[in-house]
Amino acid sequence: MFAVSEDDILQATKLVFERFKLVIEPSAAVPLATALYNEDFRAMVEREAGEAGWDLGLVFSGGNIAMDGLVKLFAAKQQS
């Protein structure tokens, strides 16, 4: 089991929105946040897969967030 912070999850949610033009709820971004920001996960991949790495398939599901809720999340992050 790997852990990521709320900030990591928000950053991954924002990345999906900006790069893929998909609106997902933050909980759907947890696997991406883990792959991008969790050092233990990244070390495990490096240890087990070596330089070749792994091909990861991530499923982005869940649209249970209104656009105004997403805007509030991003705005709160910018203010902190």
Q: What is the pTM of this model?
A: 0.82
- Do the Cβ atoms of 61 and 28 come closer than 8 Å? yes
- Do the Cβ atoms of 74 and 10 come closer than 8 Å? yes
- Do the Cβ atoms of 13 and 36 come closer than 8 Å? no
Q: Give the chain's radius of gyration (CA, Å).
A: 14
Q: What is the pLDDT of residue 79?
A: 66
Distance in angstroms (rounded) separating the CA atoms of residues 25 and 58? 14
54-74 confidence digits (pLDDT tens): 899 999 887 778 878 878 877
User: Closest Cα partner for 41 from 54, 28, 29, 52?
Assistant: 54
